[in-house]
Amino acid sequence: MMRVALCGYGNMGRHHGQLLKKHGADIELCAIADVREERRQMIVEDFPGMKIYETGQELLAREELDAVFVCVPTFLHAELSILALQKGCHVFCEKPMALNVQQCSEMINASEKSGKILMIGQVLRFWPEYCVLKEAVSRKTYGDLRTLSMTRVGGISTGWQNWYLDEKRGGMQIFDRHIHDSDAVLWLLGLPRSVQSFGFSRDAETAGGIVHSFTHYDFGKELVVCAEGSADMPKGFPFTAAYRATFDKACLEFNGLGNPTLMLYQNDQISHPLQHEDIEEIESGLNISSAGPYFNEQVYFFDCIRKGVQPKTVTAADAMQTIKLVRAEIESVRSGKPVFL
């Protein structure tokens, strides 16, 4: 039996909590913590009889655990993950890993010192449409990749005490939303030579946070890579995640709003290279197209624990590089200049 606890019961924490119900009898969710009274009441309704704590620190002090899911606001990721590792727990920490590279390094050091697993929830690495793209790029199935454009746009998310858009606590939409695509770039192609980003803030409404950004990732003249991220779309605009990848011999196009979501254009033919079945739908308050990838990353995390190996699909070092990348994007927006990596 693997005893698991959940720290943070916001939208992402609740989503993970609901998915943890789907595992076999050897996974026991035995305690949940959240500082907000209304969220603790939600835990009572979702998990009758669950042990509930106000803080993750209190939970870790009182419970004997095998693994902890850290789903608190970003500015608390490093502190709580390190504490859990020091307590001898394996840690799954939601993205982004931390606010800066120094905090990421401290988390990795704590993992290495404790001998426990540290996995970061960069979920696109488990998303079927992005896995198809990864395979096509790695194997050159359709020749060399020539262009890649990605989009991840929707309305404003504020979070508890507006932490999402506070640069000192959440890192703004670049950290919370656009980071998925920055991580995908790193996963698919490695670290670019430089980035040049453009964006803007709405100070009065969003605590000065960058709410819309466009980034060009420099991989040389033979490949054009760019991404758009926004938390500034008007009310009623559907959250949209998409990409278009053109190769020498084909084009892959993904749109999370489509049915099917993934199209392959090749030799005057249109095909649908992906037919995936989602797990049973869950109610968590999140606006996402599929619960399956989140469940799959949980399965992978638990498999790594059972095998006693650090994750390879998304390493902590990878996640730290992603933080380096998005930090460079923010710097570029602020300075109006390219940032070399």
Tell me: the pLDDT tens digits for 63-122?
A: 999 999 999 999 999 999 999 999 999 999 999 999 999 999 999 999 999 999 999 999
Tell me: the pLDDT tens digits for 295-330?
A: 999 999 999 999 999 999 999 999 999 999 999 999
Reply yes or no on whether the pLDDT at 26 is more than 80: yes
Residue 211 pLDDT class (50, 70, 90 cuts): confident
Tell me what pLDDT residue 329 has.
Answer: 96
Predicted structure pTM score? 0.93
CATH of domain 2-121: 3.40.50.720
Strands (E), 155-280: 194-201, 210-218, 224-230, 240-247, 251-255, 262-266, 269-271
* Whole-number Cα distances in Å, 164 to 170, 225, 248, 298: 5, 26, 39, 24
- Fold match flag (2-121 vs 124-296+320-340): no
Tell me what pLDDT residue 200 has.
Answer: 87
125 within 8 A of 187, measured Cβ to Cβ: yes
Cα(18)–Cα(250) distance, rounded to whole angstroms?
39
Tell me: the pLDDT tens digits for 47-67?
A: 999 999 999 999 999 999 999
Give the start-to-end residue ranges of the domains of the chain: 2-121, 124-296+320-340
* Whole-number Cα distances in Å, 266 to 240, 248, 330: 25, 10, 37
> Is 93 strand, coil or helix?
strand
Q: Average pLDDT over the chain, rounded to whole? A: 92
Tell me what pLDDT residue 270 has.
Answer: 95
Tell me what pLDDT residue 284 has.
Answer: 44
CATH of domain 124-296+320-340: 3.30.360.10
**Residue of 45, 48, 46, 70 lying closest to 59 (CA atoms):** 70
Q: What is the mean pLDDT of residues 246-270?
A: 95
